[in-house]
């Protein structure tokens, strides 16, 4: 079965960077895209970007362009999202997600990683 | 950016009642509209993909319809375990966007 397991909670100072990981299992990692989505407290979900597990192609939200980088390690079946120049508004739950049935819906989700930005 | 609006914001419902949630897109998105259920302190779960296709394992009381700008999620015969916030999501245009959510509470 498809599983996505994320790294643990992080607390960062404003201006710092954070890197969250997502380890995939149960499907052919190199065939599919992995998405990153975040949710600030009490807010709607926000799409951050995606990476293709095979060719490493990426697509980012313009809102976060320049601050967000998504990478992958195919041998480790792990994807990473790094967000730089953190501010308090980046405090959120960060989720990875994937879709293996070839549709636009995000079919499987990680458990989430809480990133808190506080001085 | 395509903006998704949902109505109602909140609905308090008795078990076995029928629930209808609507999602409207700021421009036509064909059928690239998906529905998720998110319970408190949990990750979202896909219910309906491409407007009307049920995701694997989702109870048959959940159904979706619509195309273009207007979409509907229906929960027939609500059960207590359906208390959650429901979000719509479009994957027609970048950036992918989500609706503000509809919270369903059980009376």
Q: What is the pLDDT of residues A85-115, one digit of tens each?
A: 999 999 999 999 999 887 789 999 999 999 9
Say if residues A7 and A78 touch (Cβ distance below 8 Å). Answer: no
Say if residues B45 and B37 touch (Cβ distance below 8 Å). Answer: yes
Q: If we measure between CA atoms, which residue out of B12, B58, B8 comes closest to residue B35?
A: B58
d(CA A95, CA B70) in angstroms, rounded, equals 27
Can you say whether the dihedral through the CA atoms of A67, A31, A2, B53 is positive or negative?
positive
Residue with tokens 């990981």: A21
d(CA A75, CA A91) in angstroms, rounded, equals 30
Which residues on chain A are in Cβ contact (under 8 Å) with B92? 104
Radius of gyration, CA atoms only, chain B: 13
The pLDDT value given to residue A60:
97
Say if residues A8 and A21 touch (Cβ distance below 8 Å). Answer: no
B98·A59 Cβ contact <8 A? no
Query: Which chain B residue's Cα is nearest to A63?
Result: B95
The pLDDT value given to residue A84:
97
The pLDDT value given to residue A56:
94
For the cut 80, the answer to whether the pLDDT of residue B73 exceeds it is yes
For the cut 80, the answer to whether the pLDDT of residue B102 exceeds it is yes
Both tokens of residue A16? 């710092």
d(CA A19, CA A54) in angstroms, rounded, equals 21
Is the CB of residue B31 less than 8 Å away from at least one CB of chain A?
no
The pLDDT value given to residue A20:
98
Mean pLDDT of all residues in chain A? Answer: 95
Pairing verdict, β A113-117 and B102-106: unpaired
Which residues on chain B are in Cβ contact (under 8 Å) with A46? 98
Q: How confident is the model at residue A65 (pLDDT cuts 50, 70, 90)?
A: confident
Give φ, ψ of A16 to 5 degrees. Answer: -80, 180
Is the CB of residue B50 less than 8 Å away from at least one CB of chain A?
yes
Give me the percent of chain B exceeding a pLDDT of 70. Answer: 100
d(CA A88, CA A80) in angstroms, rounded, equals 21
The pLDDT value given to residue A104:
80
- Give the residue-averaged pLDDT of A27-46: 95
Among partner residues B46, B92, B97, which is closest to A106 by beta-carbon distance?
A: B46
d(CA A108, CA B44) in angstroms, rounded, equals 9
């Amino acid at each position: 079965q498809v599983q996505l397991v994320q790294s643990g909670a992080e607390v960062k100072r404003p201006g710092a960077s954070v890197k969250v990981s997502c380890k995939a299992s149960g499907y052919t990692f190199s065939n599919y895209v992995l998405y990153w989505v975040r949710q600030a407290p009490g807010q709607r979900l926000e799409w951050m970007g995606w990476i293709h597990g095979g060719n490493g192609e990426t697509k980012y939200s313009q809102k976060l362009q320049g601050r967000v980088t998504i990478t992958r390690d195919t041998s480790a079946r792990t994807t990473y999202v790094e967000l730089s120049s953190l501010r308090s508004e980046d405090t959120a739950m960060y989720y990875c997600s994937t879709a293996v049935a070839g549709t636009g819906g995000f079919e499987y989700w990680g458990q989430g990683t809480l990133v808190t930005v506080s001085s | 950016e395509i903006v998704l609006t949902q109505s109602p914001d909140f609905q308090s419902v008795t078990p076995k009642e029928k629930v209808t949630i609507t999602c409207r897109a700021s421009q036509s998105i064909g059928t690239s509209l998906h529905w998720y259920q998110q319970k408190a302190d949990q990750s979202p779960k896909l219910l309906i993909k491409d407007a009307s296709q049920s995701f694997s394992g989702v109870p048959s009381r959940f159904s979706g319809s619509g195309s273009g700008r207007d979409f509907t999620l229906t929960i027939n015969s609500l059960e207590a375990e359906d208390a959650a916030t429901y979000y719509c999501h479009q994957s027609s245009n970048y950036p992918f966007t989500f609706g503000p959510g509809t919270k369903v509470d059980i009376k």
